[in-house]
Amino acid sequence: MTTPDPDGLLAEQLLRLTRRVHRIQKRHLEHRGLGITPAQSRLLRTLAHYGSPPRMADLAERLEVVPRAVTTLVDGLETAGKVRRVPDPGNRRVIRIELTDDGRAALRELHAGRRAAAEEILAPLTDDQRTLLGGLLGALVDGPPSPPEQRRA
């Protein structure tokens, strides 16, 4: 008889939850009819965090993908009128990517869709359970605190 692996079960539950979150978010995106893929949605959200239009290489680094993947995403979003390529004022060889007004409107819709998906996922939880889950997820996302000798460095 083998001993159950509680960490293995927990890992499987986390993976199943992640897949469920993606499915529900995708359904909410499709319902809004934006014609934006989850990857394009992620690029738009990332783009919105920059104070000024970033370079493609900046986006690739932030998204942790190869630059070619960003080019493909930007091509689709540019065709849809959500972003535009603009020349860098300091170096004409560099192209930067900026949101259009349509892109900002799409971001508002995406945010509303993500919020609706989150509400659907969290619906079975009480307020206290949501607070507890938030703390637990924060600990998992942030990772363990660094040892004192690393914090001083």
The region that residue 143 occupies, defined by phi over 0 for left and psi between -120 and 50 for alpha, beta otherwise, is left
| Token couple for 50 | 């920059």
Tens digits of pLDDT across the chain (153 residues): 566 677 788 889 999 999 998 899 888 888 888 888 888 999 999 999 999 999 999 999 999 999 999 999 999 999 999 999 999 989 989 999 999 999 999 999 999 988 998 999 999 999 999 999 999 999 988 887 777 655 555
Residue 114 CB contacts under 8 Å (≥ 6 apart), including other chains: 25, 28
| Token couple for 131 | 């607070």
Position 26 scores a pLDDT of 84
Decide: helix, strand or coil at residue 37.
Answer: coil
The region that residue 142 occupies, defined by phi over 0 for left and psi between -120 and 50 for alpha, beta otherwise, is alpha
For the stretch 71-75, contacts whose Cβ atoms lie closer than 8 Å and that sit 24 or more positions apart, written own/partner, are: 73/39, 73/40, 73/43, 74/43
- Rounded to two decimals, the pTM is 0.74
Position 3 scores a pLDDT of 65
| Token couple for 38 | 């989850």
The number of helix segments (H) and strand segments (E) in the chain equals 7, 2
* pLDDT digit string, tens, across residues 30-66: 888 888 888 899 999 999 999 999 999 999 999 999 9
What's the one-letter identity of residue 151? Answer: R
